[in-house]
Structures are given as structure tokens and as C-alpha cells.
Structure 1
């Protein structure tokens, strides 16, 4: 069997890793996913001089930021471009870049806080999900070590009820502006063509609506805490949530 030309180091359910995975799939770039659970991901990240994932390895080249991975895929892939081609003289970001940056800087971190706020409050459910998600030996280590992992995640992302409330407000604001943008009937955020804006919104907000087409297992709604079910139902019922589900149904190219 031929080795895949690219390797993607991930936390499988991470929405930033879904962003990179979606870009690789969009551009029909074959890759091997090297999946780690939180904290264990440092085993894959530290040799590249980083502490976070996703990390894309392309031969001797390492690309270690989700947005940079999208640009790399545009350069070498065969799918439609995710970012518009621009002249070196263009100093101002275009609409695609503006949306993508806002989702990356504001939406993604807010979603992480809101979802983890629910998950960490239901330790047994979240532990069992992570045990099922973990590859190989990590499954054996995560069950007895989940208490330590739970504390590390909470501290790393400063998960508190107050921060979760502020993050929810930020998400609601972004969802309202996405819905307003789409209200003129356009199929995608910046017009008629799927772009990095749509891919980034889809991936980073994906855990809020739990689409079946997500590129890795998300916390299952069957048997989920009521708080997680409510969160998912609320966002699915919004215009932006319906748009998310359409993106996954129509534009989430699978491997």
C-alpha cells in the first residue's frame, strides 16, 4: 500500500482540526490522520515545535495553523479555490478573508468554551465519549486519568460559567450576522461560490449543530446530558444553524 503524501495530526473532534480536514477533502488531497486525545496531542505536536493542532506534514514541510493549511491546500489541491487570488498590491483583506479571520479569532474559541462548559459538567458522559474516540493505548490511559485531563482542559481554556455566558453572547451575535448576510438569498456567505468563509464557519460552528457529516465522531446526542441536547436544538433552529446543516449536507466532501 502506498503511503499517503500528507499526514494530519489532530484531536479528532476538534473543530479547528475539522477545518483542516475539510480543506484537504475539498481539494481531494489524500492524507493519513494521526489522532490524539487532548494532552496526548503534545506527543504529535512537540516534535514540530508546536503545542497545538492541527499540524499538516507534507514531506519536509510542516504547516501548523488551520488557516495556513487552507492556503496550502489552495496552492497544491485540485478543488475550487477557498481564497480569492489577489495581487501583491492588495493591502486590504477581501470579504472571504474578513469572515474567515473573524470566525477563526472569535467564533472558534467561543464555541470551544461553550461546548466544554457543558461537557466538563458531565464527567462520566464526556469520559466515555473520549474513551471511545481515543486511538489504541490512549483509550486505556484516559479512563483512570480523566480527572486530571478534565482539570487541565478547564484550566487551559479558563472554562467558567461567566466566560461561557460571554462566549454564548458572541456566538449569538455572529449567528445573527451570518443569517442577516444570507437573508438576500445568496447560497454562500460571499456570493455564489463556496469559500474559506463558509468552510471556516461550517467547521468551527459544527459542534453546535452536530451534523452527521462531521469528519470525526462528536459527542453523541443519544444519551447526552439535557444541556447538550438543548444547546444543539437551539442552534439547529436558527437560520445560521440551518445553513450549517446545508453546508455539511451539500459541501462537506468526504475522503
Structure 2
């Protein structure tokens, strides 16, 4: 069956879906769109956000649902155990995955955009280079409007950015504490949806070279973006993200 994944290429939620497809050996075509322009790909599928997985006549429109779908049809090891979420323990894989999705993903997005939008020339050039064909031209001409729309959509303010940073710090500390007993993965001995979700959603803060799409280039990055990434790379949880990405690259 042919699979098509509709994405914003550098989106960490889209990275989560890409990784699940790779993990399960499910070949796919990626149709990538820039922010706001992604509506051209999402709305025909009856959605407004990405990722969206199209599997024949079936459409799966949420990153966690995509992970579950891949578990059902793929050939890799299961990402989720059979235990239902309402029966899970607080440190169970499903509970970790849900918390990362609900708290880490939005906080990372806000923290990254809060820095990027302060540097419109750098961010415009990155987005233009990430698009193809007509998208690059439209982004070059309309970046000012896109910048304002992103800031308004995510409610980017200094206060919200500070709260997001605190949420990220808390989750990074909890991940480090969980791994401190020597376990290789959050759930114990096996790679799971918890690890995949944490690594992909934290990816833009750590900028592993193996990330599944180009991220804002560090060699020309403004100082505050470099500091932000250095801060999170220099943590135990940041090391964990880098290891997971290196392992993923070695297996593909």
C-alpha cells in the first residue's frame, strides 16, 4: 500500500511521524509544506494541522494516532505495549508519550519560535530554503505576514516563553532522573513510543545532525539560538536525544 505523509518538514510533530514510519519499515512519500502554506495540503484531507498520513483510502491525522497505526501494520518492534492508558502506571510508556505530546511539544515549539521570530532575516532565509518551487516564492514575499500569524497563533509573549522554558527544564530533569538508574530507555530495556516522542519533540532544541529534515543552520545562527541549543545539548536528557538519533541513523 502506498503511504503519503503530509508535513511541515522541520516540525517536530512531523518528525515524530516520520520516525515511526521509518521504525516500522513503511516506505512513504513526503509532501512537505511551509507554515501556513501547509493548509494547501491539509485541507483537502479534511484537516488543518499536520502531520497527516494517507494510507490508501484511510487518513490518519494525529502524530500519536500515526504511531498506533504504524504499530498495527508495520514490521518493527511495537512502540506501544498492550496495556490501555487508563490502566497504565504514572511512569508507563503511554503516560510518558501523552505528557510529551501535551506539554513538551507545544513548549518546544513556542520556545524555538520565540527566538526565531526575533531574527526575521535569518528565519525568512531558512524557511525560503526549506520550501520547493512556488512555496519558496510565496514565503519570500509573504514572510512578514507569516511571522505575525505564527506569533499570534502560538501566543508568543515573554511570559509564555518563560513558562515554556520552565516546562521544558522540568521534563528534561525528569527524563534524566528516570535514566539515572542505568536503563537504556525510558521504559526499561526496549525502545518505545516514549523514547521516540521525547527525542523527536526535543529535537529542535538539541539539533541532532540526523534529524529527519533540515533545521535552522547553526553555523549562521544568532547567538541566542546557539545558546538555547547549547543549554539543552549540555544536559543528560540532551545526551539521550543525541544517542537515540545516532542509533536511529545507524539502523537506517
- Say which SS state the counterpart of residue 9 (structure 1) adopts: strand
1:101 aligns with 2:101: no
Given candidates 16, 24, 31, the residue that maps to 1:19 is: 16
The within-5 A match list for 1:106-117 is 106-117=103-114
Residues 45-80 of structure 1: CA distance to partner in whole angstroms, max 9, x if unpaired? 111211100000000000000000000000000001
Residues 208-219 of structure 1 mapped to structure 2, 5 A cutoff: 208-219=205-216
1:25 touches 1:254 (CA, 8 Å); kept in 2?
no
> Any residues of structure 2 matched to 1:124-203 within 5 Å, and which?
124-203=121-200
Q: CA deviation digits over 1:151-195, x for unaligned, max 9? A: 000001011111000000000000000000000000000100000
Hey, what does 1:57 align to over in structure 2? 54
CA distance in 2, matches of 1:80, 1:186: 18
User: How far apart are 1:132 and its partner, in Å?
Assistant: 0.4
Matched, 1:92 2:92: no
Distance across 1 between alignment mates of 2:233 and 2:79? 25
Paired with 1:30 and 1:80, the residues of 2 have a C-alpha distance of 16
- Whether the 8 Å contact between 1:103 and 1:204 is mirrored in structure 2 is yes
Give the alignment's TM-score, normalised by structure 1.
0.95
**Which residue of structure 2 aligns with residue 246 of structure 1?**
243
Runs (4+) of structure 1 exceeding 6 A deviation are: none
Secondary structure at 1:81 match in 2: coil
**Structure 1 residue 91 displacement after superposition:** 3.8
Alignment root-mean-square deviation, CA: 1.3
Query: CA 1:59 to 1:81, structure 2 compared with 1: closer, same or farther past 3 Å?
Result: same
CA contact (8 A) 1:120 1:126 kept: yes
Segments of 5+ residues of structure 2 without an aligned counterpart are none
Counting matched residue pairs gives 250
Shift in alpha-carbon separation, 1:50–1:135, aligned structure 2, 3 A: same
1:253 CA drift (Å): 6.7
> What is the TM-score of this pair, normalised by structure 2?
0.97
Residue 93 of structure 1: how far off its partner (Å): 2.8
1:252 deviates by 4.7
Aligned to 1:79: 76
How far apart in 1 are the matches of 2:248 and 2:195? 9
State the Cα distance separating 1:251 from its structure 2 match: 2.7
| Superimposed CA distance per residue, residues 205-233 of structure 1 (whole angstroms, 9 cap, x where no aligned partner) | 00001000000000010110000000011
Provide the C-alpha distance between the structure 1 equivalents of 2:109 and 2:88, rounded to a whole number of angstroms. Answer: 26
